[in-house]
Structure 1
Amino acid sequence: MKKLVRVPQAEPASDGRPGVRGRPGLAALPPLSIYIHVPWCVHKCPYCDFNSHERNGDIPEQAYLQALQADLEQALPDVWGRQVSTVFFGGGTPSLLSADAVDQIISLLRATLSLPPDAEITLEANPGTAEAARFQGYAKAGVNRISLGIQSFDDDKLKRLGRIHDAAQAKAAIEMAQRAVDRVNLDLMFALPQQTLTQCEQDVREALAFETGHLSLYHLTLEPNTVFAKYPPRLPDDEQSAVMQDRVAALAEAAGFERYEVSAYARPGQVCQHNMNYWQFGDYLGIGPGAHSKISFQNRIIRQARARMPDAWMRLAQERQGKHIVEQRELNHGDLGFEFMLNALRLKQGVEGGLFIERTGLSLMAILPAMRRAVDRGLLQPGLDRVQATSQGWRFLNDLQMEFLP
């Protein structure tokens, strides 16, 4: 593990503005989000490549809370005085935490950071751990948005995915969440093992019947270092998957949802603000094992990563010597252009060209050659006022994004 290396304060650029190696500083810092990683789960799903760890018995809740406080307190100098726009509890399975633990975490955030009373606070929950009293407790603690990992309403498909809940538990969890908070997201997957188009459509129709405000509809992919990568199931082919994706989008949009990002659909006023901040290249402080951060200063932008293993992270964070941060690097010009476009191009409407300048401190000239190539290929809309994929570019998003790889 690397020691935390502090990036030295930059010398003023030749024009008097703060900068690193001549790069102009940011005129204003972007919005800041907080991500809290809860690493434990009851069962590791065969498709999951997230930093999640099966836990037999109770999770070490008090040790986790103490380490989380130590992690946050050591991060405060990097974000001091900045207002927090959103909070997201991800995992793993955050709903393994007690309502009291979530209350303590949110209270800690309010005590140490500028967190507005109406800030969006999302908690991911597994239907297999859903309890009405716990959801109500989360809401009382300050959670105002619950994201449920449903994945499917088909019991056979849930078994193939290694989920610990069944369709009946999924439906009950949705109703519990809706009684607890006003904003509920359902995660659903398609192109599942041996799934037909009819089964895919039925899953989406069942999700729509609950009339939640947000849907996340993902294509199942075989990620490296997962059980599915080692033992691939029989999945729909590319042509079948493309038909499913088009049908999923059509059903959601016909029900009043706007597809505003590749996998995200929202009713009016229900867009996930936390994820929008990611896609618009905002800042986020990630605390917890394996959490990543992107933090802007006037003269530089850095990325950090915490120790992945829960026990190691808890021990190192509480030593308060910065060793729980195992990676820290400053983004260079090429990194900035690519990472901005990697995120912004996921949005259906793209972003204003001025946002690139505002969030990176660079001129659009830095990515103009790549933009011209993408326009020539029919993947990017022409012009500098708005950076937006064409319908073809959105369908072949990886190809478009790779144009900006330094």
Structure 2
Amino acid sequence: MVTSIPISLYIHIPWCLKKCGYCDFYSYVSKTTIPEKKYIDNLLKDFEQDLSLVGNREINTIFIGGGTPSLLKNESIEYLLNSIKKRSIVSNVAEITIEANPKILEYQKFVNYKKCGINRFSIGIQTFNSNLLKKIERTYDFLEAIYSIQESKKNNCNLNLDLMYGLPDQLLENAILDLQYAIKYHPAHISWYQLTIEPNTPFYAKNIKLPDENMIFQMFSEGDQLLRKSGYNKYEISSYSKLNYQCQHNLNYWNFGDYIGIGCGAHGKITQDNGQIIRTVKNKNIHDFLNGHYLNKMHVVSKKDKIFEYFMNVLRLYKPVFKKHFRETTNINEIYIEKKIQIAVQEGFLIDTTDYWDTTKKGKFFLNSLLEIFLK
């Protein structure tokens, strides 16, 4: 049943104070006043068009990302969320997250976020080291990062901190110190991921050098141990949480759930009653979007791509993959992939039982190699 597949809503706010050299997300540095009212009105029209693909399914999580959503006025965020709730069914216990930049956070913002129903804050710290912050072209310093955490903790216990390791000129002690600072403030969730330089970014063009593989592995190994010893459970490749504080929105992605994506460059995945999965990609040109041109591409996912996308998501999680779940979310019987599973088992990547598949330690370490089996 399609209604048994959870559905989320992602809202993209594309503006930033500054475009970081490593960022490959759709974002714009606003040189004039942000057209908040016009953008939100178009977001809502974009949302209304997607609702025709969703029916009356209940939205379980909302994630306001970017860009830097906290650049918007508090009343704009409140209006946006109230308008979403008027147009759709949003769960009374929905997890609602907003991403924020330490540079523009103060106590009153968090108070207002909480009043309009936001119950999870995600702050993009990346590193506490002021020198490294300059190297990766962030707009704040150590003190501003600490201040943003302190202010958020006054209002909400469900706080995520984004941290990166493997930064240019970062030493092992720098990476561990970042985690120690974060742990000191007891956030409910820490996203700790390796910096990778993507094509079509300024850092890629400049050929920015990162620490070597041995150093990066050492950062990961020691940092992983520290997080686990400090009471954080690793439930996904780069996600650690305290008990009952996993990010429900991201879990829905990784469990191959459905999601509506609205705003410039947003992606969506919506399962239809006939078992087909529709992918949507929204227009990333802000001028076109503000003129009512929302949809860039929409296509039905092929059987082959559906299998690959399923495993690309679920194998990120540190838990077994149940065959019943595979059948229900892909509308494909596991017999169809039996040969691929056998290859993965022979390679030592997977364990195959009657009810589920589980990734071995080798499979987690060579996840890309495991995924290639499902791609072929």
TM-score range (shorter-chain normalised) is over 0.9
Pair 1:310 & 2:286 matched: yes
Q: Distance in 2 between matches of 1:100 and 1:77?
A: 28
**Stretches of 4+ aligned residues off by more than 4 angstroms:** 26-29
In structure 2, give the amino acid aligned to 1:314: L
Q: Distance in 1 between matches of 2:345 and 2:271?
A: 30
| Alignment equivalent of 1:370, drawn from 340, 355, 363 | 340
CA contact (8 A) 1:31 1:277 kept: yes
Partner of 1:353: 323
Task: Give per-residue Cα distances to partners, 1:302-322, cap 9 Å, x unaligned.
Answer: 1010100112112124xxxxx
State the 1:110 CA deviation: 1.1
Task: Give per-residue Cα distances to partners, 1:364-402, cap 9 Å, x unaligned.
Answer: 122222211111111112325223221111112111111
Partner of 2:224: 249
Larger RCO: Structure 1 or Structure 2 (Cα < 8 Å, ≥ 6 residues apart)? 1
| Alignment equivalent of 1:160, drawn from 102, 122, 135 | 135
CA contact (8 A) 1:283 1:295 kept: yes
What does residue range 75-114 of structure 1 map to in structure 2 within 5 Å? 75-114=50-89
| Alignment equivalent of 1:386, drawn from 356, 359, 364 | 356
What does residue range 11-160 of structure 1 map to in structure 2 within 5 Å? 26=1, 28-160=3-135
Which runs of 5 or more residues in structure 2 are unaligned? none
Q: Distance in 2 between matches of 1:57 and 1:180?
A: 31
Q: Distance in 1 between matches of 2:373 and 2:223?
A: 28
Q: Distance in 1 between matches of 2:2 and 2:211?
A: 48
The share of aligned pairs that are identical, in percent, is: 38
CA contact (8 A) 1:337 1:366 kept: no
| TM-score of the pair, normalised by structure 1 | 0.90
CA contact (8 A) 2:3 2:57 kept: no
59 and 403 in structure 1: CA distance in 2 versus 1, 3 angstrom threshold? same
Q: Distance in 1 between matches of 2:269 and 2:167?
A: 33
Q: How many corresponding residue pairs?
A: 375
Partner of 2:178: 203
Partner of 2:256: 281
State the 1:232 CA deviation: 2.4
Q: Distance in 2 between matches of 1:219 and 1:368?
A: 33
CA contact (8 A) 1:29 1:296 kept: no
Which runs of 5 or more residues in structure 1 are unaligned? 1-25, 318-323
Q: Distance in 2 between matches of 1:360 and 1:376?
A: 25
Q: Distance in 1 between matches of 2:315 and 2:298?
A: 26
Q: What is the DSSP-based 3-state SS (H/G/I as helix, E as strand, rest coil) of the residue aligned with 1:46?
A: coil
Root-mean-square deviation (CA), in Å? 1.2
What does residue range 301-340 of structure 1 map to in structure 2 within 5 Å? 301-317=277-293, 324-340=294-310
Task: Give per-residue Cα distances to partners, 1:210-236, cap 9 Å, x unaligned.
Answer: 101100001000111111111122311
State the 1:42 CA deviation: 0.7
Partner of 1:262: 237
Q: Distance in 1 between matches of 2:162 and 2:341?
A: 33
